[in-house]
Amino acid sequence: MGQEERAREFVGAFQALRAEVEKVIVGHGEIITHVLTGMFAGGHILLEGVPGLGKTLLIKTLAEGLELSFSRIQFTPDLMPADIVGTNIIVEDADGRKHFQFQHGPIFAHILLADEINRATPKTQSALLEGMQEGAVTVGGASRPLPAPFFVLATQNPIEMEGTYPLPEAQLDRFFFKLRVRYPALEELNAIIDRTTQARQVAVNRVLSGPTVLGFRELIREVPIASHVRDFASAIVMATHPQWDQAPEVARRFVRYGASPRGAQALVLGAKVRALAEGRYNVSVDDIKALAAPALRHRIILNFEGEAEGVDTDTLVGQIVESVEAAAVERKEVFLR
Amino acid sequence: MTHPLPIETLVRRVARQVRLRRAEHAGVRGAFWGAAAAALLLVFRSPLGAVALALAAGLVAAGVLAGVAWGLARRVGARDAARVADRAFALDDRVATVLEWAERPDRTPLVDALVADTLARVEALEPRRMVERVSPREARWLPVPVLAGLVLLLAPPVPMPAGGLPDFLPSRGDEEREERSASTLLEERTRPLAKEPLKRAMLEERDFAQRAGASGAASAGDLAAIFKDTSLSGQRPDFNSFLKKGDERLKLLENVDRLPDLQSDFTSTTYKMVFRKSKALSSGLRPDQISPQKLRELLDEMERLGRKGGTWGGDAAEGMEALEGGETDKALQAMQKALDKMRAMDEAQRSGKGLRGGRERDRGARGRDRGRGEGVGPEDQDFGDTDGLLPGTGRSPLAKGEATARLRARPYDVGVEGESRRGRKDGYDTNLTGRGGTMGSRLQYLGVVGQYRKQMEDAIAREQIPREYHDQIKEYFQALDER
């Protein structure tokens, strides 16, 4: 099968999976697209929103649409790391000899739903770190690989709420995208009521298997990107650093730490998925602009002034993108702008 | 693989358009400067004769040609042209990507698909103008030198000076006359203005005193007559002190920093911000669970703020030292102390005590006067520092002061009396007076309640207290206030 054929197959699979999720989830079209983008790019997604907006349902529906194992962990303050990764237990064999046997934790699944991740203590939250980055966990000195593809979808309540523990920066950085689930519009709310208060059940079909997802992940990395588009992505990430000599005024004023190189990777990989899903074989500047907020909003740490002024990171990222674009245009002569 | 022909053609076409637009642009600029030079030349056309006309036309043509040549000669990069084409035809950077990736050794199989896709799109394009025409700034002003040139051409030649220069020097008589008139003016300018005799306040007062004296006869409209049966009739108005006081008040108005700041938003003060940060840092966590990095950042921020006129800088520094030594508990205590001081300063500013000048400046003097039995109101006491308020923490070796006479006026009154205590940290020792004075308590009611309220607020912020209880706790403390 040629690459063009495979690319077309990817577009079909993307649309089909999206359609299956939309059978259950009303609205949140952009969120669904970004979740699928993150999954095909091989990243993990953090969904943030107040309770009751359908975050968990979205992830469960996505898992139903994939032929992959799924497990869910409800994070609570008394959850321990061993409850996630598993532990060695003593078992007795037929001869009566006792030995340690590893009891797999719920992390050993293709799709892991970490529900309300910021209700657990930082120690337990950190139990996910190695698994998310390396695709393996170390228990009792032995490294155990996680099944591939491994995909963490975490939900969290806004950190201002009671009884929450903010995720450490190191763990936030391991999330490919952070998506903000917003309250539905009036029409969407009406549709939710109609769909969820009637007797009919919606069946979600399984449209994708694990190996297919892995194959698409390889295909996505082959999407070419022009150097000026890559430079644009790099300039956006660099512009989030107040120390950079070309950083815009907003970054110098409100940002303490800018996005890491993982942010740039997420930006470009996400843009590749977006391009391919839209039937293009190359990344455009618009792809980068569209994904700047989900890829960078959780990687920018505001300084004291930024927090005191209540600066919204989405607005900040938007202003940074605008300033980078304006600077790029400014450098060009009038006939090449 | 070389770039497919239609794509190359498109890029070349765009590059050609860019060059043409540049040539137009530079040509107009050249025409302006050429016309300006030609107009200047036509001013001096009388000595040049008919050659001037030819030279002027030549200058305009040379300007236009130079601009066009410069515009055409500048190269347009293929990638730049490709990006212009992508934008003009909404091709989503396809052409630029193809141009870059088609010849790369690490090209992926998807690049072939990209080339084919781009080719199909480019072939379907209809040729149109892709590069917009941009008028230079000089285009607006081009008619000016052109019209000036035409006017100069049609008008008679400007007469040029011939031979020696005319004698512009004035004659001796004129010079003297001018000197005379100039000296008169000079005298008028430099002559000092005649000073009007100022009436001093003392003189006016003396006049008034003579009329308003007790022995003087009362005339119609005389103020002394109005007040003759009162004690005021014998008093002389002191205008000097009135003027002096007036001056002082006016001077006070000039000191803007001493006036209350009525426009500040006290709901978003520095203390509030820092308190919110500290709450976010420690909410629901034990000291060993707090991120030292965040705590250090917060202390660092507090120390920085303290340097700008706060008194809590030392506590923040102590906290940082304790944190460096791994003593998170001490660091948290120091942070709490610094927060208390910030709060005290914040409250003082809010109630107008933060104004420099009057009260603050007098505080030291009042403290010295306390020993002489002058009463001190509760608003003068500083509860920012917690040392010395709790039982057994006072360090003053002095005997506690006696209750004032005012407080003893009613035996059922329970009051407080205290003394300021100088030391490494200024404190305030208090005694209970009245009925409760005989008891062993040496705590001030308001201070203790305030301190417990502060602890209650911190506890609500830090510990996991069910939300439903918050209001009840606050209401309880409010009830204590009302009593």
Looking at the structure, do residues A156 and A283 belong to the same domain, yes or no? no
Instruction: Tell whether the model's pLDDT for residue B358 goes beyond 60.
Output: no
Helices (H), A245-312: 249-254, 261-277, 285-296, 304-308
Structure tokens that stand for A37 in this block: 């983008």
The arithmetic mean of pLDDT across residues A320-324, rounded, is 94
Determine the 3-state secondary structure of A144 from DSSP. strand
Domain boundary among A175, A192, A222: A222
Q: Specify if A129 maps to a domain.
A: yes
Measure in Å the smallest separation between the Cα of B158 and chain A Cα atoms: 42
Instruction: Tell whether the model's pLDDT for residue B439 goes beyond 70.
Output: no
Looking at the structure, do residues A229 and A194 belong to the same domain, yes or no? no
Domain boundary among A156, A191, A222: A222
Looking at the structure, do residues A54 and A130 belong to the same domain, yes or no? yes
pLDDT given at position A219: 92
Looking at the structure, do residues A1 and A147 belong to the same domain, yes or no? yes
Q: Which one of A268-282, B205-219, B222-236 scores highest in mean pLDDT? A: A268-282
Q: Specify if A102 maps to a domain.
A: no
Put simply, the chain A residues between 108 and 127 with a CB less than 8 A from any chain B CB are 121-122
Task: Name A115's bridge partners.
Answer: A74
Predicted confidence band of residue A2 (pLDDT cuts 50, 70, 90)? confident
Give chain B positions within 8 Å (CB) of A283: 93, 97
Half-sphere exposure for A146 (CA within 13 Å, toward CB): 31
Of A137-151, A200-214, B238-252, the least confident: B238-252
Looking at the structure, do residues A133 and A230 belong to the same domain, yes or no? no
Residue-wise pLDDT tens digits, A116-149: 888 888 888 888 888 888 889 988 788 899 998 9
Is the CB of A7 inside 8 Å of chain B's CB atoms?
yes
pLDDT given at position B434: 61
Question: What is the spatial distance between Cα A294 and Cα A271, in angstroms, rounded to a whole number?
Answer: 11
pLDDT given at position A39: 93
Structure tokens that stand for B169 in this block: 């020097």
Looking at the structure, do residues A273 and A204 belong to the same domain, yes or no? no
Task: Name A70's bridge partners.
Answer: A111
Q: Specify if A199 maps to a domain.
A: yes
Q: Specify if A305 maps to a domain.
A: yes
Residue-wise pLDDT tens digits, B266-290: 556 777 778 877 777 766 566 667 7
Q: Specify if A101 maps to a domain.
A: no
Give chain B positions within 8 Å (CB) of A166: 280
Tell me what percent of the residues of chain A surpass a pLDDT of 70: 99
Q: Tell me if B110 and A7 make a contact (CB, 8 A cut-off).
A: yes
Looking at the structure, do residues A183 and A261 belong to the same domain, yes or no? no
Looking at the structure, do residues A291 and A314 belong to the same domain, yes or no? yes
Give the DSSP letter of residue B142.
T
What are the structural domain ranges in chain B?
A: 5-154, 237-365, 375-482
Let me know if A192 is exposed, middle or buried by CB neighbors in 10 A (0-12, 13-18, 19+). middle
Q: Specify if A87 maps to a domain.
A: no
Give chain B positions within 8 Å (CB) of A219: 110
Give chain A positions within 8 Å (CB) of B460: none
Predicted confidence band of residue B187 (pLDDT cuts 50, 70, 90)? very low
Measure in Å the smallest separation between the Cα of A195 and chain B Cα atoms: 34
> Taking all residues of chain B, what is their mean pLDDT, rounded to a whole number?
69
Tell me what percent of the residues of chain B surpass a pLDDT of 90: 4
Give chain A positions within 8 Å (CB) of B98: 282
- Asked if residue B145 lies in contact with residue B35, where contact means CB atoms within 8 angstroms, the answer is yes
Predicted confidence band of residue B392 (pLDDT cuts 50, 70, 90)? very low
- Report the residue of B93, B133, B265, B288 to disrupt the A interface, i.e. the one with the largest count of A CBs within 10 Å: B93
Q: Specify if A146 maps to a domain.
A: yes
Instruction: Tell whether the model's pLDDT for residue B139 goes beyond 90.
Output: no
Q: How many residues does chain A have?
A: 337
pLDDT given at position A74: 92
Looking at the structure, do residues A72 and A216 belong to the same domain, yes or no? yes
pLDDT given at position B450: 81
| B96, B113, B467 ranked by CB distance to A228: nearest | B96
Give chain A positions within 8 Å (CB) of B25: 334-335
Determine the Cα angle at B140 with ends B85 and B158, to 5°. 145
Put simply, the chain A residues between 215 and 234 with a CB less than 8 A from any chain B CB are 219, 222-229
The arithmetic mean of pLDDT across residues B148-159, rounded, is 80
CA distances from B163 to B76, B160, B166 (A): 57, 10, 9
| A3, A219, A282 ranked by CB distance to B97: nearest | A282
Cα Rg of chain B (Å, integer):
45
Q: Tell me if A122 and B289 make a contact (CB, 8 A cut-off).
A: yes
Instruction: Tell whether the model's pLDDT for residue B197 goes beyond 60.
Output: no
Q: Specify if A172 maps to a domain.
A: yes
Peptide bond into A224 cis (omega under 30): no
Measure in Å the smallest separation between the Cα of B118 and chain A Cα atoms: 9
Looking at the structure, do residues A42 and A125 belong to the same domain, yes or no? yes
Looking at the structure, do residues A312 and A259 belong to the same domain, yes or no? yes
CA distances from B379 to A43, B340, B363, B454 (A): 60, 17, 11, 18
- Asked if residue B82 lies in contact with residue B95, where contact means CB atoms within 8 angstroms, the answer is yes
| B93, B96, B467 ranked by CB distance to A162: nearest | B467
- Report the residue of B76, B97, B131 to disrupt the A interface, i.e. the one with the largest count of A CBs within 10 Å: B97
pLDDT given at position B467: 76
Q: Which one of A229-233, B57-61, B414-418 scores highest in mean pLDDT? A: A229-233
CATH code of residue A58: 3.40.50.300
Domain boundary among A158, A187, A222: A222
The arithmetic mean of pLDDT across residues A312-327, rounded, is 93
Looking at the structure, do residues A200 and A270 belong to the same domain, yes or no? no
Structure tokens that stand for B69 in this block: 């040549």
Predicted confidence band of residue A37 (pLDDT cuts 50, 70, 90)? very high
Q: Does this complex have an ipTM over 0.85?
A: no
Residue-wise pLDDT tens digits, A143-183: 899 998 999 999 888 765 667 788 888 888 999 999 998 88
Host domain of residue A307: 223-337
Chain A / chain B CB contacts < 8 angstroms: 95
Question: What is the spatial distance between Cα B359 and Cα B342, in angstroms, rounded to a whole number?
Answer: 19
pLDDT given at position A73: 92
Predicted confidence band of residue B469 (pLDDT cuts 50, 70, 90)? confident
Structural domain count of chain A = 2
The arithmetic mean of pLDDT across residues B45-64, rounded, is 84
Measure in Å the smallest separation between the Cα of A178 and chain B Cα atoms: 21
Q: Tell me if A336 and B94 make a contact (CB, 8 A cut-off).
A: no
| B96, B111, B134 ranked by CB distance to A334: nearest | B134
pLDDT given at position A223: 92
| A166, A168, A224 ranked by CB distance to B101: nearest | A224
Instruction: Tell whether the model's pLDDT for residue A300 goes beyond 90.
Output: yes
Task: Look at the alpha carbons of B92, B94, B100, B106 in this order and tell me if their dihedral is positive or negative.
Answer: positive
Structure tokens that stand for A299 in this block: 């990687």
Of A204-218, B58-72, B308-322, B394-408, the least confident: B394-408
